[in-house]
Amino acid sequence: MTQYLIRRILISIPTLVAISIVIFTILALAPGDPLAEFAMNPAVPPEVRQRIRQSMGLDDPIPVRYVKWASSMLRGDFGYSFRSKSPVIDLIRQRLPTTLYVIGTAYLVSVLIAIPVGVLSAIRQYSIFDNIATTLAFIGFSLPTFVTGILFILLFSVKLGWLPMIYRTTIETEGLAGLWEKIKQALMPIMVLGLFETAALTRYTRAAMLETIHQDYVRTARAKGLSERAVILRHALRNALIPVVTIVALSIPGIFTGAVITEQIFRVPGMGSLLISAIRDNDTPVIMAITIIFSTLVVIFNLIADILYGVLDPRIKYE
């Protein structure tokens, strides 16, 4: 196991380096100027604009700019935003709690609902419960989040007036009333994301469970006289969770980078909206910071998923 982990980590390092080089090069060659607002401002003389560009390193060759960024990133310094002139790490710290609260809750709810529903749907195949769960899963998976988001706004905000349509960070109400206001404004984004993720994960869980419960070792366990509960939980479920673990593990990094479309619909000030604004403003330091964090998390959770395979299935050995 130790040798396997070391080998995977050594492979991950050049992977992350290659990802960072490709993204940095694309951003450097992309049209647009992060100092366009100065170019349109007649009060800023050309020589001042040039000094600003030189101080930010925008006139340096792309390899030189990349080496400067990479060396700073390795020291934990993601640089300063071209747009707000604030440290990138401070911008991430401001947005990350909201993203973890809204997006993280949606993912957690989807996992807690989808796995039991998928297992029960597979066990009771073609029953009324299975038909209802499958139909709802197809509907939830087929509808894009921007469609369900707009429908939820029309229903719960415009028609019924139960929930606010825009996420606000400046809630001045204190006590339980303020807490309830924060919960209310997060309900619709959580429901929109939770519906989509629950539908997708339910389908994966049901398919994996259906394939597992017809295996020979499951029939052997039943033939030995084990109870149906023991057969499902101890034999079938553990092996059925292997592909599900992959889906869940690779979805977790998305919690940290936010849900771009949903955050735009409900004006949630999270990582997704920060990424969109950075792309719009050609803010390379912010884009690179979010991208490299996401790539690192994908590599880490992919490794965690591989380790969990061995926990769920003792037949899997790492040498």
Distance in angstroms (rounded) separating the CA atoms of residues 187 and 166: 11
Domains and CATH numbers, the chain: 88-312 (1.10.3720.10)
Whether 195 contacts 141, CB under 8 Å: no
Query: If you search the block for the tokens 């000094």, which residue do you land on?
Result: 51
Q: What is the model's pLDDT at position 263?
A: 83
pLDDT in tens, 70-91: 888 888 888 888 778 788 899 8
**DSSP code of residue 78:** -
Q: Is 126 exposed, middle or buried (0-12, 13-18, 19+ CB in 10 A)?
A: exposed
Distance in angstroms (rounded) separating the CA atoms of residues 292 and 95: 16
Residue segments in the chain with a per-residue pLDDT below the cut of 70: 1, 32-50, 52-53, 55-57, 169, 171-173, 257-258, 311-319
Q: What is the model's pLDDT at position 39?
A: 58
What three-state secondary structure class fits 237?
Answer: helix
Q: With residue 317 as reference, give the H or E element that holds it.
A: none
